Amino acid sequence: MVWHIKKTGIVGSNTVYYKGSNRWTNVFADRSTYTSQAKAKLESYIWDKKTNDGWDVTAVNENA
């Protein structure tokens, strides 16, 4: 399975994808992919922001 991380962008309500190295992109093809949800959740910076700052972040299964 392939997973990626997405969130609602700060400007407007567009969707952005995690690119890696604490960077985001609005280009789907430039997203980082993971082989499991657990591996996507290893990006602790992102999930800490979700918990502490209320980021609208989701790990998405692309095969679902």
Rounded distance between C-alpha atoms, residue 52 and residue 63, angstroms: 29
CB-based contacts of 44, cutoff 8 Å, min separation 6: none
Q: What is the pLDDT of residue 42?
A: 94
Rounded distance between C-alpha atoms, residue 28 and residue 38, angstroms: 21
Q: What is the pLDDT of residue 9?
A: 78
Rounded to a whole number of angstroms, the CA Rg of the chain reads 11
> What is the residue range of 35's domain?
3-61
Rounded distance between C-alpha atoms, residue 28 and residue 26, angstroms: 6
pLDDT in tens, the chain (64 residues): 899 999 987 777 799 999 999 899 999 999 999 999 999 999 988 999 888 888 889 999 999 8
pTM summary value = 0.88
What's the total number of domains in the chain?
1
